[in-house]
Amino acid sequence: MNVTVAIDCMGGDHGAHVTVPAALNVMRRDPDTAFILVGQRDAIERELARLNAAADMRLQIEHASEMVEMDESAAAALRKKKDSSIRVGVNLVKEGRADAFVSAGNTGALMAISRFVLKTLPGVERPAIASILPTLKGHTYVLDLGANVDCTPEHLLQFGIMCAELVTSVEHKERPTVGLLNIGVEDIKGNELVKRAAELMRASGLNFYGYVEGDDIYKGTTDIVVCDGFVGNVALKTSEGLAQMLATYLREEFGRNLFARLAGLAALPVINAFKRRTDHRRYNGASLLGLCGIVVKSHGSADTFAFEYAIRRAVEEARSGVLAHITERMAAIQKSAA
Amino acid sequence: MNVTVAIDCMGGDHGAHVTVPAALNVMRRDPDTAFILVGQRDAIERELARLNAAADMRLQIEHASEMVEMDESAAAALRKKKDSSIRVGVNLVKEGRADAFVSAGNTGALMAISRFVLKTLPGVERPAIASILPTLKGHTYVLDLGANVDCTPEHLLQFGIMCAELVTSVEHKERPTVGLLNIGVEDIKGNELVKRAAELMRASGLNFYGYVEGDDIYKGTTDIVVCDGFVGNVALKTSEGLAQMLATYLREEFGRNLFARLAGLAALPVINAFKRRTDHRRYNGASLLGLCGIVVKSHGSADTFAFEYAIRRAVEEARSGVLAHITERMAAIQKSAA
């Protein structure tokens, strides 16, 4: 299926230097994709020239005169920057000129603008941010990762339903298992939010596994782990911090003296295989789920390799028909509840 | 200072096989310690015989006929098992026969029984569980790790105050920095709980650093990280899961083929140095903070090496006078508020 993806070329730590080559790489490898590069025309054209490329039918430029800063408040970005690269990109999805939008920019602004412009799918109360994390068994989807800091049990149920449709659509996995993140697996454990959410999930027709704990994320106990955005964000950031600390320690130990450096040389292919396997860049690209349109958030520090993964995720979602599937499912639930 | 520590010899995955030799090891290395081994007398005596040791003045046995199961509810353990090793051990602290109690048993039951028997220190509304985690700079105290799933801003403030006294008492660090775990460092980020807790902390006289994020735990940004028990428990368990996954991957890569195994042999001293540095056993022993008595919780799966660290933590706390310091501080705050 032909897919057109709008790319925020200004967002993230590296802007056009990362986003433009990433788009070119995906375009060259996947003949059924086209791109609209959104941002300051000069900067994008300079980057294309540097890469010996030029705009054409499959590679258009859409000028945007403004940029949302990484520390700008979502409300200010929404109200004041009507010509930001995020706003223009989301508008392209709204107008049907693009099938998806990818940005490495300010997460809060991206969510606020997407929600304001695209609106949520029928029946969806709150959009959520879903990301993929590596596990001992493969990978797991975790949501919400920070869009919603105060959730109701109904929100958590909807996150589970939306993400189950995403996994079924993109991975062709029927009835993926859904775990609810808690601080114990016994029924009596947890706060009121998770206890009530568990009741709703049990009655929902979801393939509800029950409670899972933090370590179940990386064990790969369930296909999906649902939690509120505060808890999910802390779990994600804590993981990033721990991984960075361990990587630093490993580097320091292999650089400690001549013997360690020689051992490091001998072990280099093994260490590299380990690094490839745990490379978080291959999991880059979080889905803003529940909107009338596909929006994917890349990590702000993404390099070209990582940003390509975010683009490919947007392409996959656009081809999967996930929006129709979520809409159908929400309608079926509302009908059975009526 | 002479310290007597009561040891729950039945709790944890390994019972007396781990707890008794750990107590002996600490006793032999630290001449100013004495121990009361709590549990089934037969089992303890058999273990002492196996280790060519015997009860004496510094090593008494206190019989307890029951044991709290790891999956037993705290309420049931509190109500029905009046002669459990946990109950008997906590009673020894209450009666002043022991200066501290260490258990690798059921966390919920340990907290419920400790709270019921010992009560909280004057002014303390809720006890919390504080643990040490390794960081890039050394280590950090994180609390609460699961005792309180629904916290008020006042509880979080008290956690910060109690832990600051602990760090000052045990590590002789004046005015340790306190961070409040949030999902962003800007003032507008977070839920109502953290926003109000931040206001209280700013006005409290604590050395309040401000908001920190999940990755700041392992960066070692602050000496103390405060969060509610649900979030803290998820952060801790998620870290455990990630560390296990990475260790598994590393082991698998070094076992993949003959070359990798040879490289692993060459790199063994380096890998071992890395393992030592990241060995979570050296951080075993979480403090139940805010009680009228010192209670330390060991990880249930602790081996002898790990359990020794939990015992040594209890000894350090007993020598530090932390209970008096927390009491003084709470009194000073209540006086200034009155």
- Same domain assignment for residues B94 and B194: no
Tell whether A328 is covered by a domain. no
CA distance B252 to chain A (A): 9
Residue A146 has pLDDT above 90, yes or no: no
Residue tagged 């807790």 (tokens): B197
DSSP at A66: B
What pLDDT was estimated at residue A322? 96
Q: For residue A44, is it within any domain?
A: yes
- CB–CB of B238 and A241 under 8 A? no
Split at pLDDT 50, 70, 90, the class of A191 is confident
- Which are the contacts of A41, defined by CB distance < 8 A and separation ≥ 6? A61, A63
For residue B280, the distance in angstroms to the closest alpha carbon of chain A comes to: 12
Task: Return the higher-pLDDT residue of A136 and B333.
Answer: A136
Taking the C-alpha atoms of residue A39 and residue A86, their distance in angstroms, rounded to an integer, is: 9
Average pLDDT over residues A54-62: 92
- Partners of A63 in the β-ladder: A39
Residue with tokens 């093994």: A270
Q: pLDDT at residue B17 above 90? A: yes
Whether B6 shows a pLDDT value over 70: the answer reads yes
* Surface-to-core class of residue A69, CB atoms within 10 Å of its CB (0-12 exposed, 13-18 middle, 19+ buried): middle
Paired tokens of A69: 């800063």
CA distance A89 to chain B (A): 25
Minimum Cα–Cα distance from A279: chain B residue:
B246
Is B334 a member of any domain?
no
| Residues of chain A neighbouring B240 (CB-CB closer than 8 A) | 214-215
Length of chain A: 338
Q: What is the pTM of this model?
A: 0.92
Count of residues for chain B? Answer: 338
- Has residue B130 got a pLDDT over 70? yes
Q: State whether A62 and A159 are in the same domain.
A: no
Segment A152-169 mean pLDDT: 96
- Tell me: do A66 and A152 sit in the same domain: no
Answer yes or no: is pLDDT of A188 > 80. no
Residue B328 inside a domain? The answer is no
Nearest to B217 among A191, A241, A267 (CB): A241
Smallest Cβ–Cβ distance between B263 and the set A234, A246, A267 belongs to A267
Domain count of the fold of chain A: 2
- Identify the domain containing residue B149 by its residue range: 125-284
Residues of B in contact with A217 (CB under 8 A): 238, 241-242
Q: What percent of chain A has pLDDT over 70?
A: 99
Q: Are B270 and A253 a contacting pair at CB < 8 A?
A: yes
For residue A212, list chain B residues with Cβ-Cβ distance below 8 A.
none
Q: Please indicate, yes or no, whether residues B254 and B194 belong to a single structural domain of this protein.
A: yes
Residue range A305-330, pLDDT digits in tens:
999 999 999 999 999 999 999 999 99
User: Which pLDDT value is given to residue A154?
Assistant: 95
pLDDT at B124 over 80: yes
Pairwise CA distance, residues B305 & B275, whole Å: 14
For residue B182, tell me if it sits in a domain: yes
A136 contacts in chain B (CB < 8 Å): 244-245, 248
CB contact under 8 Å between B229 and A254, yes or no, is: no
Q: Is the pLDDT of residue B273 over 90?
A: no
**B167 and B103 both lie in a single domain:** no
Chain A interface test: which of B129, B145, B183 (most A C-beta within 10 Å): B183
Which residues does chain A have within 8 Å of residue B250's beta carbon, measured at their own beta carbons? 274
Beta-strand runs (E) in A257-309: 286-289, 294-297
Residues A224 and A254 in one domain: yes
Q: Are strands B139-143 and B128-134 parallel, antiparallel or unpaired?
A: antiparallel
CB contact under 8 A, B248 and A216: no
Q: How far is B290 from B161, CA to CA, in rounded Å?
A: 10
**pLDDT of B255 strictly over 90:** no
Residue A325 maps to a domain: no
B214 and A249 within 8 Å at the Cβ level: the answer is: no
Query: How many CB atoms within 10 Å of residue A269?
Result: 14
| Distance to chain A for B74, nearest Cα, Å | 10
Residues A272-284, mean pLDDT to the nearest whole number: 88
Q: What are the chain B neighbours of A241 within 8 Å (beta carbons)? A: 214-219
What residues in B contact A192, CB-CB < 8 Å?
A: 150
What CA–CA distances, in Å, run from A105 to A21, A117, B223? 17, 17, 31
Which residue do the tokens 């030029």 mark? A54
Confidence class of residue A116 from pLDDT cuts 50, 70 and 90?
Answer: very high
Nearest to A217 among B230, B238, B254 (CB): B238
Best of A111, A137, A183 to disrupt the B interface (most B CBs within 10 Å) is A183
Q: How many CB pairs under 8 A join A and B?
A: 182
Task: Calculate the average pLDDT of chain B.
Answer: 93
pLDDT at residue B160, as a whole number: 97
pLDDT score of A303: 96
Return the pLDDT at A216.
97
Residue type, position B2, single letter: N
User: What is d(CA B76, CA B58) in angstroms, rounded to the nearest whole number?
Assistant: 33
Looking at the structure, do residues B89 and B208 belong to the same domain, yes or no? no
In the predicted model, what is the mean pLDDT of residues B251-261?
A: 87
Specify the pLDDT at position B15: 92
Q: Which residues of A touch B241 (CB under 8 A)?
A: 214-219
Q: B245 and A213 in contact by Cβ < 8 A?
A: no
Distance, in Å, from the CA atom of A11 to the CA atom of A15, rounded to the nearest integer, reads 5
Do A134 and A40 have their domain in common? no
CB pair distance less than 8 Å for B215 and A188: no
Lowest mean pLDDT among A48-57, A259-268, A279-288, B227-236: A259-268
pLDDT band at A297 (very low <50, low <70, confident <90, very high): very high
In angstroms, what separates the C-alpha of A187 from chain B's closest C-alpha? Answer: 11
Question: Do the chains contact at B190 and A149, CB–CB below 8 Å?
Answer: yes
A202 and A153 share one domain: yes
Domain presence at residue A63? yes
Rounded mean pLDDT of B72-101?
A: 95
My answer on whether B152 and B211 are in the same domain is yes
Check B263 against A260: CB less than 8 A apart: no
Please tell me chain A's helix, strand, coil percentages from 3-state DSSP, rounded to the nearest 5: 50, 20, 30
On whether both B262 and B304 belong to a single domain, the answer is no
Is residue A338 over pLDDT 70? no
Closest CA to B131 of B286, B295, B306: B286
B142 CB neighbours in chain A (<8 A) are none
CB atoms B237 and A259 under 8 Å = no
Residues in B touching A244 (Cβ below 8 Å): 136, 215, 218-219
A13 and A60 in a common domain: yes
CB spacing of B241 vs A73 below 8 angstroms: no
The terminus-to-terminus CA distance of chain A in angstroms comes to 36
Residue B208 binned pLDDT confidence (cut-offs 50, 70, 90): very high
A336 within domain boundaries: no
* CATH code, B203: 3.40.718.10
Residues of A in contact with B236 (CB under 8 A): 214
Is A229 exposed, middle or buried, given 0-12, 13-18 or 19+ CB atoms closer than 10 A? buried
State how beta strands A100-103 and A3-8 pair.
parallel
Q: Which residue in B has a C-alpha nearest to residue A238's C-alpha?
A: B214
Residues of chain B contacting A253 with CB distance shorter than 8 Å = 270-271, 273-274, 277
pLDDT at B338: 67
* Shortest distance, CA A338 to any CA of chain B (angstroms): 33
